[in-house]
Amino acid sequence: MNAATSRNLTIAFFVLLAFGGASPMVLGSARFPQWLEVVLGGLMSGVLYSLVAIGLVLIFKASGVFNFAQGAMVLFAALSLVRLMEKLPFIVALAFTIAIMVAVAWLIEYLVLRRLVNQDPIVLFMATLGIAYFLDGLGQTVWGSDIYTLHVGMPKEPKILLEGTFEGGILVSMEDVYAAVIAATLVGLLALFFQKTGTGRALRAVADDHQAAQSIGIPLNRIWVIVWSVAGLVALVAGVIWGSKLGVQFSLQLVALKALPVVILGGFTSIPGAIIGGLIIGLGEKISEVYLGPMLGGGIENWFAYVLALVFLLFRPEGLFGERHIDRV
């Protein structure tokens, strides 16, 4: 399949997606404000998927490891924070949690990655599966396995907006708005870090070519620790937002699994891809759940994202913004 057909198919996919998204309105089965609420809700949860996905992409770019443990890191970070906050003031607890995540990153590099250099990517992937299991067990052994509520001062009350424009207005959860703002800030900071600092430049160099980066004197091991720490911090932010929304509990891990279809939709190597992929998945999931779910018996949120990503991969195997891969013998 050549590039033009591939592009056309991608466009066709998006047109279909847009039609799918708008169809409930066009067909008249929904009122506009209500539809808008669903769309906004979908986009907001999409932002949260993106947050987890960004962590995945960071690590994949810098070390070629597909980090299945990102979800476990989200849970671990949130659990640490919530339990430390019981004893300590928020700022101190946050500082401790950050220290813990950096320590985890260093341990992963020292105990696992360093010993698996030059192995197949798939071996590294399975190693992160092991890390995920280990972190899950560790988090719950050390911090307990109940459901904890996390209060970080985000407003819980939903607000009614645009009351003048529509009858009844639209209901927007302020928590989601805050989350979106935090996520946007984080992405902005990451972009600054990657573009403007020396370390960020080194990270990008490693992402481009390990060997070349090493040959000009960039210490790979330290870069990996930094990348895993950054991914740990992103996991912490995601964990805080998810945790204050849903409570800190084991099922956070499953929510984080949703980041997988997001990255394959957006492409493994692209941070913008992770963001747009997250938005598409969040949106598609909500709209399908609200308007398609009742027809199919509900609960389709659980698999819709995966099937959407799967269908998309058939058209564009490297995702939206992923690097085109050319095999050579």
Partner 1 sequence: MIYRETGQFKSTYESDQQLFPILQDRIFVVGFLVFAFGVMPFIGSEYLFRAILVPFLILSLAAIGLNILVGYCGQVSLGTGAFMAIGAYSAYNLAVRVPDLNLIVVLLLAGVFATVVGVLFGIPSLRIKGFYLAVATLAAQFFVDWLFARVKWFTNDSSSGNVSAPPLQLFGHGIDTPAQRYLFVLAFVCVFALVARNLVRGAIGRSWMATRDMDVAAEVIGIRPMMAKLSAFAVSSFIVGVAGALWAFVYLGSWEPLAFDVNRSFQLLFMVIIGGLGSILGSFLGAAFIVILPLMLNQLPGWLGIPLSTALISHIEFMVFGALIVFFLIVEPRGLARLWAIGKEKLRLWPFPH
Site membership for partner 1, residue 136 (CB under 8 A): yes
Candidate ranges 175-183, 204-212, 284-292, 294-302; the one touching partner 1 (CB under 8 A): 294-302
Site membership for partner 1, residue 129 (CB under 8 A): yes
Q: Report CA Rg, the chain.
A: 21
When the beta carbons of 175 and 301 are compared against partner 1, the nearer one is 301
Binding mask 245-284 for partner 1 (x = CB under 8 A): ------------x--xx-xx---x----------------
For the CB of residue 164, give the shortest distance to partner 1 in the complex, in Å. 41
Q: Which of 17, 43, 161, 300 binds partner 1 (CB under 8 A)?
A: 300
Taking the C-alpha atoms of residue 208 and residue 218, their distance in angstroms, rounded to an integer, is: 13
When the beta carbons of 144 and 155 are compared against partner 1, the nearer one is 144
| Cα dihedral 194, 199, 203, 208 sign | positive
- Name the one residue in this structure whose structure tokens are 């669903």: 38
- Residue 96's H or E segment, with its range, is helix 90-107
Close Cβ partners of 60 (under 8 Å, ≥ 6 residues apart):
66, 67, 263, 268, 269
Site membership for partner 1, residue 3 (CB under 8 A): no
Taking the C-alpha atoms of residue 254 and residue 206, their distance in angstroms, rounded to an integer, is: 31
Site membership for partner 1, residue 188 (CB under 8 A): no
**DSSP secondary structure letters along 288-323:** IIIIIHHHHTS-THHHHHHHHHHHHHHH-TTTTTPP
Q: Which of 8, 130, 159, 212 binds partner 1 (CB under 8 A)?
A: 130
When the beta carbons of 243 and 267 are compared against partner 1, the nearer one is 267
When the beta carbons of 135 and 180 are compared against partner 1, the nearer one is 135
Q: Which of 132, 213, 238, 248 binds partner 1 (CB under 8 A)?
A: 132
Residue 239 near residue 77 (C-beta atoms within 8 A) = yes
For the CB of residue 121, give the shortest distance to partner 1 in the complex, in Å. 7
When the beta carbons of 63 and 173 are compared against partner 1, the nearer one is 63
3-class DSSP state of 280: helix
Beta strand pairing call for 170-173 and 158-161 = antiparallel
Candidate ranges 11-19, 136-144, 156-164, 213-221; the one touching partner 1 (CB under 8 A): 136-144
Q: Which of 38, 57, 84, 131 binds partner 1 (CB under 8 A)?
A: 131
7-14: Cβ within 8 A, 24+ apart: 9/315, 9/316, 10/315, 10/316, 10/320, 12/315, 13/311, 13/312, 13/315, 13/316
For the CB of residue 11, give the shortest distance to partner 1 in the complex, in Å. 18
When the beta carbons of 166 and 306 are compared against partner 1, the nearer one is 306
**Which of 7, 18, 29 is CA-nearest to residue 293?**
29
- Name the one residue in this structure whose structure tokens are 């659980």: 302
Which residues contact partner 1 by CB under 8 A? Answer: 66, 111-112, 115-116, 119, 121-123, 125-127, 129-138, 140-141, 145, 257, 260-261, 263-264, 268, 296-300, 302-303, 306-307, 309-310, 313-314, 317, 319, 327-329
